[in-house]
Structure 1
Amino acid sequence: MPFIYYIMKTLFACLVFLLYSVVALWAYYNCNWCYTTNQETSETVYFDKATDSFIPPTGKFSNKLIVLNHASDTILTYPAGIKIIPHTDSIVLPLAFNTVVKDLKAYLKKNPATTIQIASNSAAAESTKDSILKNKRGMRLKKYFVENQINDKRIFITTNPLNQNQLLDIRLVKMDTARLKVYENSIRTKILYSKFRAHNFKPDTALIAYTKELLIYLKKYSTKSITVIGHTDAAGNNEDNVWFGKQRAKNVRNYLISQGVPEEKIIIQSKGETNPIVPNDTEANRAKNRRIEIIIN
């Protein structure tokens, strides 16, 4: 009996270790940018998995966030703002920063021909060799907005803030003709990668964000129709893959309808494995071929 107890105890310990390892590996390889909460400062802190180190909570430049409109009028101010780590491209966002995202989304919905311009600067205490950090800090903030369902084609970076004392500020600028064309093209043709399978379909951030933009687009172009095309990799036979592609397209169609897109505007198709964008010779390539293509006609 003692021997059996020892064996069972050892097996249990091994199972716990394996479970912990799987969770740790998933977190490491599936999160390019992760968040952690600094309990002392109640802030959300970006850290880079490449360095595997957290941003320290000390030695930061404070930056009250100001949002300006196209006429350079201040329309939103967030005293908590953003904190910047000197001589690095790292930024620290307060936990309440989701309010900024919510307000920006509301503004963009009411003003669809508007883009977000992130203006980034370096501090006087930083050396000239740190000037490259200006753009990188802006890119950090852009990535945060994109992760929170703001179309990346509506965000661009400049290194010339209107207020030179500001390290980061945001301007909501009317799109010019060229930028509006780029933005609308990003709506007219869209490739989505997600788990579109029938039994566990769940809209991801990319599909949710795209659907919101699509609804705005259709208000402007009310006569347009939508084609949703399902694509697969080359695993299995072609007949099955055509079926899988169609089921995935149906899932997306049903989600679009549930969000307010008129059913009669949507056509679904499946091209199965017949239209790969890369060779089906590696798992990474096969994942690229398993996709949904949305075309606005």
Structure 2
Amino acid sequence: MKNFTIAFLVFIIWSFFGLWFYHWLQQDTMAMYTETETGNTPEAKTAAEYAKERLPLRIENEAPDIVDSPNVAEANAGLTATTEEGDILFRYPENIQIKKNSATVYIPTNTHDFKYKLNSYLLEHTNTELVVVSKYSAEENIESPNYGTQRAQKIKAILIDAGIASQRIVIKPHITPIEFNLDNSYDKAFSFTIQPLDLKRVENIKKAIPETKTIYPRFSSSDILNSPALEKTLQEVVRVFEANPTLKITVVGHTDNIGNATDNYLRGLEFAKQMRWYLVSKGNIDKNKIKAISEGESQAIANNNTEKGRTLNQRIEIKFSEE
């Protein structure tokens, strides 16, 4: 009995000691855990500072993904030409500028060679055509044709002068909200797209060109004499240009064979020049769109041996073309 009592007391003492030791270890472990979590140890503090120092560098070098809205895209838009697949042929930092309620276009100096680049591409790719996209605003004055078309026609004329065939240029006015500058200017008005050549459209254009007009005006020694027939011709030509502003005119003077061929050539040229002057001054047609030439006596349509035949041969032809 005595031995049992001693053994039981020893067990109680060691149990108490064991419980105390376990409790002490738990408190020390919790203290270490707390120090690590709060960064009070030298190692934890250094790591936190390192992460803090690296964070701005990571943000600076890893810009977030941005999806351009139409406004952002427009803000970065210079004068651009793209293929139908979206490949960029060229991009200039500056675009062609327009003015509100005006058909005038302003081309920056460092953009002037755009026409040659487009011409070179079209020469190398004969099965393609060029689309001129021209923006205009619903806030602008109502015009017919609209300002988008009028401005694009100015660009088309420049492209034709650079050597691009008129039939391969398509005008596409695009009405869209425009935020004009304080001076009413806007410098993101144009873009170019290359697409497959529409042969049917080209054929329709050829069919739409008006037929040659033949007139028999009367002339004084120094001027063309006005007449109802001449005024009617003028009105018809003006209407043609209103519908097709990119057309050009060749005025051809013809004569009979009275006199020598050289004199008749000069007389026919004088007829053509007077008719050209009449169309420019009375019809307000751009003089650069009309040229005067002479065929003299070389293209007779009637017998010069009769007065009626000679009268028919003394004529003026007005020919329309896209070139």
The structure with the largest alpha-carbon Rg is 2
TM-score, normalising length: structure 1: 0.41
TM-score (norm 2): 0.38
More helix as a share of residues: 2
Query: Which protein is richer in strand relative to its size?
Result: 1
